[in-house]
C-alpha cells in the first residue's frame, strides 16, 4: 500500500521510536531474568523487524531492477498467447464481452473459471467475461492445475493429464469430433442435399485432438477402418513442451536434432514410401499431407458441383468458410455484401469436408500425428472417388 508522502514524514519518526522502545524493553527483560529468546536463535541487531524500509539510495530506473523471470516474460509477451491485437482476443470487442463458452480459451479469466481455479464451481462460466484478456501467466502457472487429473475431449473421451498439460489440452482440442458429424447426418441418404445440414467446424489449432489420433476420436472415422492412436513420436518426447518452447511457443528444433539429421520439422520424413503418389521420398512428410489435402479439397469442389449441384467456394478468412457459387463464376455469392453460406451439403460431402478442415486446422499435424492425418485424408478421398468415378489406384495414394 502507498501512503501520502506527508503521512510517511510524520509517521516514520514514531515508527523508529517505537522500534527503539521495543529494543529497550527487550533489553530490560533480559536483565531482569525474564523469558529469553531460544538458544538456537540468539538475538542480534540484524533480527530486528523493520516495519518500514527506506532504500539506501535512489532514485531507481525500472531497467535497473532485476526481475528473475524477465526473460520468460519477454518471450511470452512476443508470443501468440499475449498478442492483444490478434483476432483470437479482439473478436468480441464490439460486444464488449466474451461469451462464456468462448472465454474458456480466449481469456485467462474464463479459463480459470472453467476449471474452478478462481474459487467458482468448475464448468462453463455463468456470465460473459470482460474483453481485453489473453492467455496470461496465471493460465499455465496456476498451482491449481496440479489438481486437474483429466480433460474431457469433444468425443467424450476423458484423457489423463499432469500439470500444464491441462492448459494445453483444454484449449487445443477443438470443439467438435467425428461423433458430432455422425449425429448431424444420421438417417439422411448419403448423396442427398439436405438444407438441415450445415458445416461442422472443428475449430482452430487442434493439436491436442490430432495428437491423440483415433484414440481421441477427433476425425470422422469410416466403418471398417482402423486409425492410428496417440502419436508417441519418441518416448522422451511425450508432452507439448517436449517440442515447444513454453513461452515463445516456438518449436525447440534442438529436440528434433536429437534423432533427426535435419532440424527443420517440415523437411523431416517419417517413411521411405510416398503417400501422395509423387514418388518423391526426399521431401518431408509435410509435403505428402499437404498434397493429399489439396487433392481432397479439389474432389470436394467437384462433388459439390456435379453431385450436390451447387458449386462451392472455400474462403479460409471468412466464417463459415464454405460458400455457395450458384453461377459457377468462381466467386462466392453474396447477399447484402455477405457471402452466402453453402447450403447443399450431403452427408458424404460433410464428412469429407470435416476431415479436410480438421487436418488443415492443425498446421503442425505432420509432427503431431502424420499417420492419422494421412489416414483421414485417404479415406475421405476414397469416399468421394465412387460418385466421382475416380480410380483410386490411378491416384497412387497410400494410406
Q: Per-residue pLDDT tens for 153-191?
A: 999 999 999 989 999 999 999 999 999 999 999 999 999
Residue 192 domain-assigned (yes or no): yes
Percent of the chain topping pLDDT 90? 75
Residue 264 domain flag? yes
More reliable by pLDDT, 62 or 129: 129
Assigned domain for 67 exists: no
Question: Which among 399, 398, 381, 379 is positioned nearest to 390, based on CA atoms?
Answer: 381
Report yes or no on 5 lying in a domain.
no
- Each residue's pLDDT tens digit, 345-367: 999 999 999 999 999 999 999 99
Confidence of residue 388 (pLDDT cuts 50, 70, 90): very high
Query: Looking at the DSSP assignment, which residues form a beta bridge with residue 14?
Result: none
CA distance 159 to 153: 7
How far is 1 from 3, CA to CA, in rounded Å?
A: 7
Query: For residue 70, is pLDDT > 90?
Result: no
- 3-state helix/strand/coil string of 182-212: HHHHCCCCCCCCCCCCCCCCCCCCCHHHHHH
Residue 262 confidence class, pLDDT cut points 50, 70, 90: confident
Q: Helical H runs in 107-206?
A: 108-114, 137-141, 165-171, 178-185
Instruction: Specify if 143 maps to a domain.
Output: no
Say how many domains are in the chain. Answer: 1
Instruction: Decide if 245 is inside a domain.
Output: yes
Range of the domain at 266: 172-309+344-395
Average of pLDDT values for 357-384?
A: 97
The owner of cell 510517511 is 8
pLDDT by residue (tens digit) across 213-238?
A: 999 999 999 999 999 999 988 777 88
- What value does the mean pLDDT take over residues 134-147? 94
Q: What is the DSSP letter of 50?
A: P
Q: Using 50, 70 and 90 to split pLDDT, how confident is the model at 290?
A: very high
* Spatial separation of the C-alpha atoms in residues 319 and 353, rounded to whole Å: 14
- Opening angle at CA 87, ends 86 and 91, nearest 5: 135
H or E element at residue 358: helix 347-361
Average pLDDT over residues 99-105: 97
Q: How confident is the model at residue 96 (pLDDT cuts 50, 70, 90)?
A: very high
In a domain, 55, yes or no: no
- Of 67-71, 72-76, 154-158, 373-377, the least confident: 67-71
The alpha carbon torsion through 292, 296, 299, 300 (nearest 10 deg) reads: -170
How far is it, in rounded angstroms, from Cα 375 to Cα 63?
A: 53
Whether 9 maps to a domain, the answer reads no
Amino acid at each position: 500500500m502507498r501512503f501520502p508522502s506527508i503521512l510517511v514524514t510524520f509517521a516514520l519518526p514514531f515508527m523508529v521510536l517505537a522500534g527503539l522502545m521495543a529494543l529497550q524493553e527487550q533489553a530490560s527483560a533480559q536483565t531482569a531474568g525474564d523469558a529469553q529468546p531460544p538458544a538456537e536463535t540468539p538475538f542480534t541487531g540484524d533480527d530486528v523487524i523493520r516495519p518500514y524500509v527506506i532504500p539506501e539510495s535512489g532514485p531507481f530506473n525500472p531497467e535497473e531492477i532485476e526481475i528473475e523471470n524477465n526473460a520468460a516474460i519477454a518471450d511470452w509477451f512476443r508470443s501468440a498467447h499475449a498478442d492483444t491485437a490478434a483476432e483470437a482476443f479482439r473478436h468480441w470487442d464490439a460486444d464488449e464481452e466474451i461469451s462464456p463458452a468462448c472465454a474458456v480459451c480466449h481469456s485467462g479469466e474464463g479459463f480459470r473459471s472453467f476449471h474452478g481455479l478462481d474459487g467458482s464451481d468448475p464448468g462453463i462460466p455463468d456470465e460473459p467475461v470482460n474483453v481485453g484478456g489473453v492467455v496470461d501467466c496465471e493460465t499455465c502457472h496456476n498451482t491449481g492445475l496440479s489438481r486437474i487429473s483429466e480433460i474431457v475431449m469433444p468425443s467424450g473421451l476423458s484423457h489423463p493429464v499432469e500439470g500444464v498439460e491441462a492448459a494445453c489440452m483444454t484449449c487445443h482440442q477443438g470443439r467438435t469430433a467425428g461423433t458430432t458429424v455422425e449425429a448431424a447426418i444420421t438417417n439422411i441418404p448419403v448423396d442427398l442435399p439436405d438444407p438441415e445440414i450445415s458445416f461442422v467446424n472443428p475449430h482452430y489449432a487442434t493439436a491436442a485432438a490430432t495428437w491423440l489420433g483415433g484414440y481421441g476420436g477427433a476425425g470422422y472415422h469410416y466403418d471398417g477402418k482402423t486409425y492410428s492412436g496417440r502419436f508417441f513420436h519418441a518416448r522422451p518426447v511425450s508432452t507439448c513442451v517436449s517440442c515447444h518452447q513454453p513461452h515463445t511457443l516456438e518449436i525447440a528444433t534442438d529436440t528434433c536434432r536429437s534423432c533427426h539429421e535435419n532440424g527443420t520439422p517440415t523437411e523431416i520424413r517419417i517413411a521411405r514410401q510416398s503417400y501422395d503418389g509423387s514418388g518423391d521420398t526426399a521431401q518431408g512428410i509435410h509435403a505428402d499431407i499437404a498434397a493429399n489435402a489439396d487433392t481432397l479439397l479439389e474432389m470436394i469442389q467437384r462433388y459439390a458441383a456435379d453431385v450436390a449441384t451447387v458449386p462451392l467456394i472455400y474462403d479460409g478468412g471468412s466464417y463459415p468458410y464454405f460458400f455457395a457459387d450458384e453461377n459457377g463464376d468462381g466467386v462466392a455469392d453474396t447477399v447484402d455484401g455477405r457471402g452466402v453460406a453453402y447450403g447443399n451439403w450431403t452427408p458424404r460431402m460433410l464428412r469429407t469436408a470435416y476431415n479436410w478442415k480438421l487436418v488443415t486446422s492443425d498446421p503442425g499435424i505432420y509432427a503431431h500425428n502424420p499417420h492419422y492425418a494421412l489416414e483421414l485424408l485417404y479415406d475421405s478421398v476414397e469416399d468421394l472417388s465412387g460418385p466421382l468415378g475416380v480410380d483410386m489406384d490411378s491416384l497412387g495414394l497410400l494410406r
